Structure 1
Amino acid sequence: MKVAQGIKKLGQPFTLDNKMSLENPLVLVFGNRYLLEDVSIYEEVRSLFPTGHIVFGSTSGEIMQDVVYENSVVLTAIEFEKSKFEVKTKNVKDFNHNDYNLGEDLFNGFPKDNLQYFFIVSEGSTVNGSALIKGLEKNMAKEIGLSGGLCGDDARFEKTLASYNENPKEGEIVAIAFYGDSLEVTSANYGGWTSFGPERRITKSENNILYELDGKPALDLYKKYLGDKADELPKSALLYPLSVRKENEEPLVRTILNINEKDNSMVLAGDVPEGSRVQLMMSTIDDIANGARTAAELAMENRVNNPQLALLVSCVGRKLVMDQRTEEELEEVISIVGENTKISGFYSYGEMAPFAGMGNCKLHNQTMTLTLFSE
């Protein structure tokens, strides 16, 4: 595996860490949404990697090595020397926002022979990440892994962008499939958030829209807990996500993507099934940093080889809590995966990964998710 990295800051061209020649590389480009809206961004990356397979995703912060950037575009180009990959996309608008059908159709379009792993870069504004994952996994063999993340737009929640081999656009979901016995990929996630306050039952919901808790309008109830911070919704919701627990299942953390004042509902990044128990959550800087370390330890637990590349997807809510100390969670990750591992990634509106020791992928919020590669 050969890896080259670079960064583009506002008003400047890309600067690369080396100018090695890469053959048909996978080029992951994560960046600020405004910079990705520049009509010249695709051609600029294409000029650097003429034979590259270029995947774009907008972010709520860019990760490269041990630094968290803002208002930038980070680039990681990977030449796989022993394994192969394919990239395909679908757009939510073509499926009438039926994300389950989109996921199923997207997976079915890939060759299955020697398929090892999927990494997803998904639009993050309107997608139901839980439904997308269920669709992707419907016909997927249990031994095939799946992870990735929902694109971000800082804390604006206006729109997100993604694409493959074209200028970034709204509604795109990009799937990267990896093939080959020589490829070792492991993933894990962990949060570090703590539940508090009374536990309430979801009495009315539809997919990822939450209408009622204990028979009362969900948004009204949530605003009471937020107090003065309710005026800053949906941004302030990133500091107080929800723990959603179904009977006999691990609790999932759900971030609020948007609110609807007309019907007092909240749109979350993933499913919130009726009958589930819900609590507010909060965290501290130390808990979040320790959570990142735990995620790295879980991802490294059963590896045979040291990772050559780590793709990190961390939640924008973690970044808001940590503020000036955000890079501490990267330091914790590097202390576990090793300083020789190339690191790239982004802050997101949702993270995709299985729970430790479990096969099926889940949509998470407020976690650090790692996907580790080696050949």
Structure 2
Amino acid sequence: MKARSIFGKSPTEVQIALKEAIGDGFIPTLAIVFISIKQDRKAVREILAAQSIDVFGATSCGEFVDGHQSKGEIAILLMDLSRDLYAIVFEDMGAQSIQAAAKKVASSALSNFSNPTLIICSTGVTPDSEMFDGMSLVHELSESIGRDRIFFGGMAGDDFTLTGTSVFTQNEETNHGLVALVFNADKVSLNGMAITGWKKLGISRKVTHSKGKLLYSIDGKPAVEMYLKYLGKGEEGEDQEFDLLNELSFEYPFITERENSQEILIKSPMNIDHEENALVMDMEMMEGETFWFSVPPDFDIVEEIINEAKEVKNTVGEDSDALLVFSCAGREPALGPLVTMENEGLAEVWKSPMAGFFTYGEFGRAKNGQQHVHSTACCWVALKEK
């Protein structure tokens, strides 16, 4: 399999880049498209369709290829993989549950290949502007397709507007659903990892009152007051205009431990419900749940990610044909240029064309871990035709 990455600030630029990419025996069959909601997705799909290129796509909170990182643009990874080695599965959820949609994706994957692996993207927010329940998706997909199956991916973004995300194929699109790129694992290998890098800060805390995604009290004290004061922002508690997500949550989310596991899960306060005097979380926090405040990674996170990638590569014993990176939208504002160093470093390790986007959640496995949904993670996967 050969791969090439292209980018553009408009469909016209993409068309020019595509024309330049095709040639020298490279005739792509598949395009993985990460695109801003500001861009004309239909036009990009038509450009690719004119070249008989299949499409797997998601909207982004920023996108990148090797050597170029952008906001509001279009990033595409082109591959010339034989069509008998992959299938694209699209599921518009409509009124059905996440569990039902996941079961259908698993059934389709298994009907295409006896030994499937997947790249999967879901929408990132629901039509009601609630965060998509990635935890339920990962659990049901793992149960339905088999816990030993590998899948990586992310939840679509919308340039941080929380107004609506999309996933799409060449002919279909939804603002509430899934798209899966299914590979024959006997012919195409996927090797990857999800790493967060956030560290525990101080002593453990306990949720003492919560309801759904509303967190009312921590250690018997008002959650809003405790969180803001702990991070030196106590005076902002009454400010209706205070942007909790951008000012604090990207850098200082909560660390919880996954059930029956030493792996961690990051949960982030999204905003403040002033009427309820509660933190609105991206994921539910149960009463009695233990967690820690956190601090973002230091410079050594880049070294950690690169070293882990080198270890995986040494185990595999070869370069990859292509690389995909699903990086949490919160990493860029929290880590700044370190995020670019992560992405470029991964591409250099694997010596392959790369494309990725900033997500509202990531799907993958931590080192020696199970299949999970992640938050604040850098989740990467290297593809290789056997």
So what's the TM-score if we normalise by structure 1? 0.86
Q: 1:282 is aligned with what amino acid?
A: V
Larger radius of gyration: 2
1:40 aligns to 2:52 (yes or no) = no
Q: Give the deviation of 1:2 after TM superposition.
A: 2.3
- Relative to structure 1, is the Cα distance of residues 190 and 180 closer, same or farther in structure 2, using a 3 angstrom cutoff? closer
Deviations 1:339-372 (A, max 9, x none): xx111111111111112123x3111111211111
- Relative to structure 1, is the Cα distance of residues 59 and 295 closer, same or farther in structure 2, using a 3 angstrom cutoff? farther
Q: 1:365 is aligned with what amino acid?
A: S
Q: Give the deviation of 1:314 after TM superposition.
A: 1.0
Q: Give the deviation of 1:35 after TM superposition.
A: 1.0
Pick one of 34, 37, 45 that aligns with 1:30: 34
1:178 aligns to 2:173 (yes or no) = no
Counterpart position of 1:354? 365
Counterpart position of 1:156? 161
SS in 2 for 1:138: helix
Counterpart position of 2:90? 89
Moved more, 207-216 or 80-89: 207-216
Pick one of 264, 281, 293 that aligns with 2:306: 293
Deviations 1:172-193 (A, max 9, x none): 3111211141222111111222
- Relative to structure 1, is the Cα distance of residues 135 and 218 closer, same or farther in structure 2, using a 3 angstrom cutoff? farther
Q: Give the deviation of 1:92 after TM superposition.
A: 3.9
Count of paired positions: 367
Gap runs ≥5 in structure 2: 126-130
1:337 aligns to 2:350 (yes or no) = yes
Q: Give the deviation of 1:18 after TM superposition.
A: 1.5
Q: Give the deviation of 1:243 after TM superposition.
A: 0.5
- Relative to structure 1, is the Cα distance of residues 9 and 201 closer, same or farther in structure 2, using a 3 angstrom cutoff? same
Q: Give the deviation of 1:260 after TM superposition.
A: 3.9
- Relative to structure 1, is the Cα distance of residues 70 and 214 closer, same or farther in structure 2, using a 3 angstrom cutoff? same
Deviations 1:96-155 (A, max 9, x none): xx3233222321233344323111111112211111101111122233211111112233
1:283 aligns to 2:296 (yes or no) = yes
In structure 1, distance between residues paired with 2:219 and 2:101: 33
Counterpart position of 1:142? 147
Q: 1:117 is aligned with what amino acid?
A: T
In structure 2, distance between residues paired with 1:72 and 1:309: 21
Question: For the Cα contact (< 8 Å) 2:244–2:269, is it kept in 1?
Answer: no
SS in 1 for 2:363: strand
SS in 2 for 1:344: strand
In structure 2, distance between residues paired with 1:354 and 1:85: 22
1:233 aligns to 2:244 (yes or no) = yes
- Relative to structure 1, is the Cα distance of residues 4 and 129 closer, same or farther in structure 2, using a 3 angstrom cutoff? same
In structure 1, distance between residues paired with 2:159 and 2:61: 4
In structure 1, distance between residues paired with 2:187 and 2:157: 32
Q: 2:102 is aligned with what amino acid?
A: G
Q: 2:121 is aligned with what amino acid?
A: V
Counterpart position of 2:63? 62
Pick one of 123, 127, 134 that aligns with 1:129: 134
Moved more, 255-264 or 141-150: 255-264
Q: Give the deviation of 1:216 after TM superposition.
A: 4.6
Q: Give the deviation of 1:200 after TM superposition.
A: 1.3
Q: 2:137 is aligned with what amino acid?
A: L
SS in 2 for 1:158: coil
In structure 1, distance between residues paired with 2:155 and 2:264: 20
Q: How does 1:174-213 map to 2 (within 5 A)?
A: 174-205=179-210, 210-213=215-218
Q: Give the deviation of 1:206 after TM superposition.
A: 6.0
Gap runs ≥5 in structure 1: none
Kindly report the root-mean-square deviation, in angstroms, between the aligned alpha carbons of the 2 structures.
2.8
- Relative to structure 1, is the Cα distance of residues 269 and 173 closer, same or farther in structure 2, using a 3 angstrom cutoff? farther
Question: For the Cα contact (< 8 Å) 1:202–1:273, is it kept in 2?
Answer: yes
In structure 1, distance between residues paired with 2:324 and 2:216: 35
Q: Give the deviation of 1:79 after TM superposition.
A: 2.1
Question: For the Cα contact (< 8 Å) 2:5–2:354, is it kept in 1?
Answer: no
In structure 1, distance between residues paired with 2:299 and 2:361: 21
Counterpart position of 1:99? 98
Q: Give the deviation of 1:217 after TM superposition.
A: 4.8
Counterpart position of 2:373? 363
Question: For the Cα contact (< 8 Å) 1:128–1:208, is it kept in 2?
Answer: no
